[in-house]
Amino acid sequence: MGAFIYKDLLVFWRNRKEILMALLLPILIIVILNFAFSGLFMDEKAIHIDVAVVQEDDLKKGKEQFAAAVEAKDLSSQEKNAVLAEAARIDPVQLIHDFLNSADMKEWVTVKDLSEREAAEQVKNGELDAIIKIPEGFTDDSLSRLLLGEPSQGSVSILAEEESREVSTLQEVVHNFVNTLNMQFALGSKGFQASSEPVLPQGGKEVVEGDDGADAYTISQYFTIAICTLFALFMAQTVALKTITEKREQVFNRILLTNRHPLFFLFGKTVSAFILACMQFMMTLAAVQLLLNVFPDKTITFWVGLVLVLMAFALTVGGLSALFTALTLHLSDSNAASGISTLIIMGFGALGGSFFPLEGLPEPIQKVGEWTPNGLTQTALIEWVQYSHLNDLMFPILFLAAVFIISFAISVSIFPKRGRS
């Protein structure tokens, strides 16, 4: 049997391009993803918005218009005076300007004052992200609604070329600000006064803890595990599909003539897939850990547990490899064999969440995904990263071993028997 394992490893070793592919690709992908995603979320503050304020509303004229509107109203002069005094205090345009130029906003928003035509030009060139336009009659409209209860509204527009991260952030910020103002106005209009200081919520985060103080897992840990398991699955297919070549080049028939039990062929494939998957895990983890320090400050226990689960997964990979090998020998059409194994691998990959996260998908699909070998490994290891409870590892390891036994049993049973051509 040793000879068979040696043969399969040798076949792999002879093909350097393939080895490099199998061993370097996962490392490369993890590094790429790491940079892609760290660039994504770490420098959230790096967002910078260039915005122009186009003010078409003439403040003075607005106030005059409002004053005229008040005069025309059917109110006593005392009330009129009160309203006008109130109006003199509130300046909606100024509120918006103050907000945009406040110290908080200055850090990431640059405000310019431009005419509409100039600003539109710059938005189209991409120099500006958006325009905030305060239209004519804004002061009058908002004051009329505010103080006279008329149905008019002061409406600010955000003008942009197309939706982008900058525009949506700006939209959100301005919306929030306006909502807060409206809320204040609403309370003010009813003459409500806080009878006591509001008891503000404290909020805060509670990290779910294990007994020994758990760590939160990071997104890079998540996809390190996902990519590792996914490429191990590919490994199962790679090893098994070598059978097609061996069938084509009569290697299998020659082995049959050597008076060795043909099942040794299957054992050879299984064990070599297991060994190769293990090697792949070790190299990927070592490289990723050294390059990116994905699992910082972990104890030996953690690493032992990680290796144990991955070994169990490598066992499953061996089982799958046996299954695909037997399938290839069983089916006369080798294309069908590779097609079916591709479907199985892709199915596992997609359902197990190795290609993309499953969170948005309906519950049943997520449930199925948890029972794929890679999905289960993923869940188990994410838990292990956080809590390091040895008990949590028992079930996944047993499950993965069971998958190995079942697929190995199936492959032995469909392995071509004696007398079959």
Residue from 4, 66, 222, 313 that binds other proteins (CB under 8 A)? 222
Q: How far is CA 55 from CA 23, 76, 100, 156, in A?
A: 60, 34, 13, 10
57 to 86: interface string for other proteins, x by CB under 8 A: ------------------------------
Residue 71 CB, shortest distance to other proteins, in Å, is 21
Choices 186-194, 271-279, 300-308, 412-420 (CB under 8 A): range interacting with other proteins = 186-194
Which residues between 87 and 106 bind other proteins (CB under 8 A)?
Answer: 92
Residue from 181, 256, 263, 410 that binds other proteins (CB under 8 A)? 181
By CB under 8 A, residue 296 contacts other proteins: no
Pick 199 or 257: Cβ nearer other proteins: 199
Residue from 218, 263, 412, 414 that binds other proteins (CB under 8 A)? 218
What is the rounded (10 degree) CA torsion for 363, 367, 370, 372?
-120
Residue 201 CB, shortest distance to other proteins, in Å, is 4
Which residues between 381 and 420 bind other proteins (CB under 8 A)?
Answer: 382-383, 386-387
DSSP helix/strand/coil, 80: helix
By CB under 8 A, residue 190 contacts other proteins: yes
Pick 261 or 367: Cβ nearer other proteins: 367
Choices 71-79, 334-342, 396-404, 405-413 (CB under 8 A): range interacting with other proteins = 334-342
By CB under 8 A, residue 258 contacts other proteins: no
Long-range contacts of 411-418 (CB under 8 A, 24+ apart): 411/266, 411/319, 411/322, 411/323, 411/325, 411/326, 411/327, 412/263, 412/266, 412/322, 412/326, 414/326, 414/327, 414/330, 415/262, 415/263, 415/266, 415/326, 415/329, 415/330, 416/262, 416/329, 416/330
Structure tokens at 63: 């106030």
Which residues between 120 and 179 bind other proteins (CB under 8 A)?
Answer: 120, 123-124, 131, 142, 145-146, 151, 153-167, 171, 174-176, 178
By CB under 8 A, residue 213 contacts other proteins: no
By CB under 8 A, residue 43 contacts other proteins: no
DSSP helix/strand/coil, 50: strand
Pick 243 or 270: Cβ nearer other proteins: 243
Q: How far apart are the first and last CA of the chain?
A: 23
With CA atoms as reference, report the closest residue to 221 among 289, 171, 295: 295
Residue 403 CB, shortest distance to other proteins, in Å, is 20
By CB under 8 A, residue 32 contacts other proteins: yes
By CB under 8 A, residue 109 contacts other proteins: no
Edge-first strand order for the sheet with 130-134 is 109-113, 49-55, 130-134
By CB under 8 A, residue 297 contacts other proteins: no
Q: Residues for the chain: how many in total?
A: 421
